Amino acid sequence: MELNAKIYVAGHRGMVGSAVVRRLQKAGYQNIVYRTSKELDLRDTVAVNSFFAEEKPDYVILAAAKVGGIMANNTFRADFLFENLQIQNNVIHASHEQAVKKLLFLGSSCIYPKMAPQPIKEEYLLTGPLEATNEPYALAKIAGLKLCEAYRDQYGSNFISAMPTNLYGPGDNYDLNKSHVLPALLRKFHEAKENNAPEVEVWGTGTPRREFLHVDDLADACLHLMLHYDGKEPVNVGTGEDLTIRELVELVRDTVGYTGNVRFNTDKPDGTPRKLLDVSKLADAGWRYKTGLPEGIRAVYQEAFQPTPVA
């Protein structure tokens, strides 16, 4: 991927897309193309086709998606399925039409079966039922990676797919009705500390295990894949390490400095019991994460809730 190549990053304002742009710029790529959602609605086929015909990008990183936590996924099921299908269908097809040299499609670890053996290998895809609460989003992402495979099979397109684990980092969503578990916990504990609340409620039993990757590490992996991977099979991107939600709660509580009680609301859903990715394929390709979870959480808490005062 030449330093002067035109690279389109779809979803550049999101947590993932903005991290990808930062990583590309750090590596010396300056010819990066992007549009806000107001400037280009990726659900609009005509608009997307016109954009690609005009800009003719050499490379595409598809980080745009409608995303959210358990509540958002389970509440807006039709929206999550329809809008994600529209976005990825339009961008992938337009990339084919304009003979893009290489496209990276970013999926999600939720594509794997709910009860998949652990750690989850890429070949476990479509071997069992999905987690019900985020099934529409997962189905859209499965369709996206299969669409990349189909264009490769039929037309020889160099379209690759990466499946990130749970992400966190700068630009995360802290809306308690839409956010994922880690940012939601940071906000809950921060507000409880600020308000001297005696207790914080946490959804579920605390027993599920989760893996977390800093978004800057994902961006680094994306660049590595664009430079070094051309395979048909999707590639897991994660740390290969996990912890229980209860352990995560303690880590966040200690980071924030909250001293009150924690109550696990077992009437709320846990989601998938465990979701740990097998990252050996990416490790074999020469990549490993750099940001440890404690230091990563400290950094995002500082960035989101304790910004340095302006002198």
CATH code of the domain covering residue 233: 3.40.50.720
Ramachandran sector of residue 56 (left: φ over 0; alpha: ψ -120 to 50; beta: rest): left
Residue 137: active-site member: yes
Q: Is position 85 within any domain? A: yes
**Residue 34, token pair as written in the block:** 């992007």
CA-nearest of 42, 282, 26, 18 to 165 is 282
- With 0-12 / 13-18 / 19 or more C-beta atoms within 10 angstroms meaning exposed / middle / buried, residue 10 is buried
pLDDT value at residue 27: 98
Distance CA 242, CA 142 (A): 23
pLDDT value at residue 173: 85
- Helices (DSSP H) in the chain: which residue ranges? 15-26, 45-55, 70-75, 77-97, 135-155, 181-194, 215-228, 245-256, 280-284, 293-305
Distance CA 64, CA 53 (A): 19
pLDDT value at residue 80: 94
Cβ atoms of 182 and 167 within 8 Å: the answer is no
| 133 annotated binding-site participant | no
| 270 annotated binding-site participant | yes
Q: Is position 50 within any domain? A: yes
Taking the C-alpha atoms of 184, 167, 86 and 148 in order, what is their torsion angle to the nearest 10 degrees? -160
Distance CA 272, CA 144 (A): 22
pLDDT value at residue 311: 43
| 187 annotated binding-site participant | no
| 16 annotated binding-site participant | yes
pLDDT value at residue 274: 87
Q: Is position 229 within any domain? A: yes
Range of the domain at 78: 7-171+211-240+276-291
Q: Is position 231 within any domain? A: yes
Q: Is position 246 within any domain? A: no
Distance CA 297, CA 215 (A): 12
Chain centroid to CA 191? 25
pLDDT value at residue 310: 43
Cβ atoms of 143 and 189 within 8 Å: the answer is no
| 214 annotated binding-site participant | no
pLDDT value at residue 308: 55
Beta bridge partners of 104: 61, 160
Q: What is the 3-state secondary structure (H, E, C) of 231-258?
A: CCCCEEECCCCCEEHHHHHHHHHHHHCC
Q: How far is CA 294 from CA 166, 247, 256, 277, 303, in A?
A: 15, 11, 12, 19, 14
pLDDT one digit per residue (tens) for the chain, 311 residues: 999 999 999 999 999 999 999 999 999 999 999 999 999 999 999 999 999 999 999 999 999 998 877 777 888 899 999 999 999 999 999 999 999 999 999 999 999 999 999 999 999 999 999 988 889 999 999 999 999 999 999 999 999 999 999 999 999 988 887 778 899 999 999 999 999 999 999 989 999 999 999 999 999 999 999 999 999 999 999 999 999 999 999 999 999 999 999 999 999 888 778 889 999 999 999 999 999 999 999 999 999 997 654 44
Q: Is position 101 within any domain? A: yes
The count of domains in the chain is: 1
pLDDT value at residue 307: 63
> Coil, strand, or helix at residue 97?
helix
**Residue 176, token pair as written in the block:** 């308690």
**Residue 82, token pair as written in the block:** 């329809």
| 8, 29, 34, 137: the active-site residue | 137
Q: Is position 41 within any domain? A: yes
